[in-house]
Amino acid sequence: MVWTGSAWPVLNRKFAVRREWATRFNRWRYDVYAPLYDKLAQGFAAQRRRSLGLLNPQPGEQVLLVGAGTGLDLDFLVRCRHVTAIDIAPAMLQQLKERAERLGMAVRALEMDGQQLDFPDASFDAVALHLVLAVIPDPQACIREVERVLKPGGRVAVFDKFLADRSRAPLWRRAGNLVARFVATDINRRLGDIVSVTKLQRIHDEDAGLGGFLHIALLRK
Ligand SMILES: C[S@@+](CC[C@H](N)C(=O)[O-])C[C@H]1O[C@@H](n2cnc3c(N)ncnc32)[C@H](O)[C@@H]1O
């Protein structure tokens, strides 16, 4: 038999199934990591301060944290009165709620998929994407959703590991990624490829350490 139809429906279906399984895997593994997470991620305080300083959310603005984790960013957002935090892993969110309570912040914490945000268009002034674009299975779906829920003129702060735009990962990095992706994070994504599916403008980008492995960027709608 000769296949005459388009392969797209089949490929799309395959991609959707892969994304669904990867999303479930993330929920499971971050629920497992939750008790240890702060110890592992506390070394990034300087980058968080810098990134959120560039984002510069004002006290009355609507702020969204996507893949908010245990809420390590909240330490730098205590002046903000309208913070919404979403994450796929309930155990991470539980820690975030406890942190918010310790800080005396009223944070709206919701279990939600960052690839399919359950908010109306133009709901937020400022969004933080910290260490999530390299983890979430479909970062382009995530950034499209962020663009949708941002108000015109809204800002996005990104802090993550990226390959330089247009560069190709060396062999060691491609090999290392087989393990890195499984246990923690993809190390070979390019911010330019991710943002290219949107009209968001990259208005700032800087090296954030580890020999250019980490980046901080500011985007505007
Ligand atoms: C490396 S942690 C970063 C947490 C936090 N943003 C920080 O800076 O510490 C990645 C987070 O993304 C969350 N995550 C992974 N996939 C997600 C998805 N599809 N939707 C929402 N959150 C997701 C994980 O549960 C985890 O809390």
**Ligand 1, atom 16, residue with closest C-alpha:** 136
Percent of the chain with pLDDT over 90: 73
pLDDT tens figures, 138-175 = 999 999 999 999 999 999 999 999 998 888 888 988 98
The CATH class of the 8-220 domain is alpha beta
pLDDT of residue 179: 84
**Ligand 1, atom 8, residue with closest C-alpha:** 130
- The beta strands (E) that lie in 51-193 are given as 62-66, 82-87, 107-111, 124-130, 150-161
pLDDT tens figures, 103-147 = 999 999 999 999 999 999 999 999 999 999 999 999 999 999 999
Q: Mention every residue, 6+ apart, whose C-beta is less than 8 A from residue 152.
A: 122, 221
Mean pLDDT, rounded, for 199-206: 97
- Ligand 1 lining (C-beta closer than 6 Å): 23, 26, 30, 41, 67-69, 72-73, 86-89, 92, 113-115, 130-132, 135-136
- What is the residue extent of each domain of the chain? 8-220
Judge whether 88 and 27 are in contact, CB under 8 Å: yes
Average pLDDT of the chain? 92
Compute, in angstroms, the gap from residue 55 CA to the centroid of ligand 1: 19
pLDDT tens figures, 27-51 = 999 999 999 999 988 889 999 999 9
3-class DSSP string for 135-148: CCCCHHHHHHHHHH
pLDDT of residue 22: 85
pLDDT of residue 1: 43
Gyration radius (Cα) of the chain, Å:
18
Q: Which of 136, 142, 183 for mutating ligand 1's site (highest number of atoms within 8 Å of CB)?
A: 136
Residue 72 alpha carbon, nearest atom of ligand 1: 9
Helix extents (H) in 42-170: 45-55, 90-103, 139-149
Judge whether 93 and 85 are in contact, CB under 8 Å: yes
pLDDT of residue 150: 98
Compute, in angstroms, the gap from residue 69 CA to the centroid of ligand 1: 5
- Of 204, 208, 90, 67, nearest in space to 142 by CA: 67
Give DSSP secondary structure letters for 29-41.
Answer: HHHHHHHHHHHHH
Judge whether 188 and 177 are in contact, CB under 8 Å: yes
Compute, in angstroms, the gap from residue 142 CA to the centroid of ligand 1: 12
How many CB atoms are closer than 10 A to CB 167? Answer: 11
